[in-house]
A and B are shown apart, each in its own frame.
Chain A
Amino acid sequence: MPQKKQLLDLQFIDARHKLLDLAAFLDRMDRAAGDDDFRLAALRSALPVLLESRGDRARAILEAMSDPSTEPIPQAKRQGAYGAPPPADF
């Protein structure tokens, strides 16, 4: 396992870059016209996980953006996926 200083030397600039990209995406969404949808809401609701003191933030964010149901559905409405569970009427 690498040391903290080694990881900072290797990856801090990359993490900073990704954080800025996320911030800029949220700014861009604020400037854009029209309505957003469940995807932006899912992203916003997952953001507080980043500030929690826990060792499984990636897992928690993936779980927060997953379909919580447990039973197979009768029929698919679509083949693809969105990255966050859509509302039932979507």
Chain B
Amino acid sequence: MRYIEPHAHMVSRTTDDYQKLALAGCEALCEPAFWAGFDRSSAQGFYDYFRQLTEYEPKRAAKFGIRHFCWLCINPKEADDPVFAREVMALIPDFIRCGNVLGIGEIGFNKNTRNEQAIFEEHVQIALDHDLPVLIHTPHLEDKLKGTRLTLESLANFSKLDRSRVIIDHVEEHTVTMVLDAGYWAGMTLYPESKCSLDRAIDMLEVHGPERLWLNSACDWGVSDPLAVPQCALRMKSRGHLADAVERVIYGNPREFLSQSPRFAL
């Protein structure tokens, strides 16, 4: 089995996890910029983080034959301070030219504030200015429904945005339809306690079909499983999905979306 892990925060994971991913058939993984579990004290902290994403992690992944790509931004949890956020965003153009940078992400809302909305829209404009795809985070738990609606409202203001180059991640049963109906890609995140279980993600695939959907583990420093995607592939097979259908979801679909970035190659 071969697959692509389109959303993993490997800076929080051990080298053993890279080995497990490789053993499970992972050929490439993508690492969106995110919250480290604490707020950084300066933009310099993000400069170091962006170097980690563009210089160090690709080398660590390559030792296990895995291609490493990343997305850059200031994450929604630290975007509620617009002055600080803009200092970090000013660093992005210097890193955009790095060979493993796919686009802008994971941007979006956290607590659905006006400042988060302003910084989100400025990120989208950066992506448009540099002709890059966009990866969007949607909020947690009780904030997801409202945050997804606000995300779609903001995106509707960008008339030049190609919706097929935007993925809205962490969808669940109450948000997946509105995302797909608006023409965007949707990501389903497989978490042990929140977001989607393996079976709920497969339910959504069965209800909506595989078009413009991908699976990811979003493994990070919290309760998460870096092997969630191959685990879900196994569960799909146990529920009667044929091998071709499984491969489309775990390999073909992420490759199709990610190939819209000229940097993505396997």
A residues with CB within 8 A of B: 1-2, 6-7, 10-11, 56, 58-59, 62-63, 65-70, 72-85
Contact B143 A63 (CB under 8 A): no
Residue of B nearest to A6 (CB): B240
Contact A70 B172 (CB under 8 A): no
| Cβ 8 A contact of A81, one of B139, B150, B174 | B139
* Interface residues in B, total, Cβ within 8 A: 31
Minimum C-beta distance from B152 to chain A (A) = 12
| Cβ 8 A contact of A58, one of B141, B146, B173 | B173
User: For the complex, is B15 an interface residue (Cβ under 8 Å from A)?
Assistant: no
**A66 surroundings in chain B (CB, below 8 A):** 142-146, 174
A58 to B203, CA, bound (A): 10
Q: Which of B44-52, B59-67, B111-119, B249-257 contacts A (4 or more CB under 8 A)?
A: B111-119
Residue of B nearest to A83 (CB): B141
A84 to B141, CA, bound (A): 7
Residue of A nearest to B111 (CB): A76
Contact A2 B239 (CB under 8 A): yes
**A80 surroundings in chain B (CB, below 8 A):** 140
Contact A81 B173 (CB under 8 A): no
Residue of B nearest to A72 (CB): B114
Summarize B's interface: helix, strand, loop or mixed.
Answer: helix
Contact A59 B173 (CB under 8 A): yes
Contact A76 B145 (CB under 8 A): no
User: For the complex, is B206 an interface residue (Cβ under 8 Å from A)?
Assistant: yes
**B112 surroundings in chain A (CB, below 8 A):** 67, 72-73
A68 to B143, CA, bound (A): 9
Contact A74 B114 (CB under 8 A): yes
Contact A62 B145 (CB under 8 A): yes
| Cβ 8 A contact of A11, one of B110, B114, B142, B199 | B199
A26 to B140, CA, bound (A): 24
Q: Contacts A1-B206, A2-B239 known; A85 to B114 CB distance under 8 Å? A: no
Between-chain CB contacts (< 8 Å), 26 pairs: A2-B240, A6-B240, A58-B172, A58-B200, A59-B174, A62-B144, A62-B172, A62-B174, A63-B145, A65-B141, A66-B143, A66-B144, A66-B174, A67-B112, A67-B146, A70-B149, A72-B112, A72-B113, A72-B116, A72-B117, A76-B80, A76-B111, A77-B111, A83-B194, A84-B142, A85-B142
Contact B113 A74 (CB under 8 A): yes
Minimum C-beta distance from A5 to chain B (A) = 12
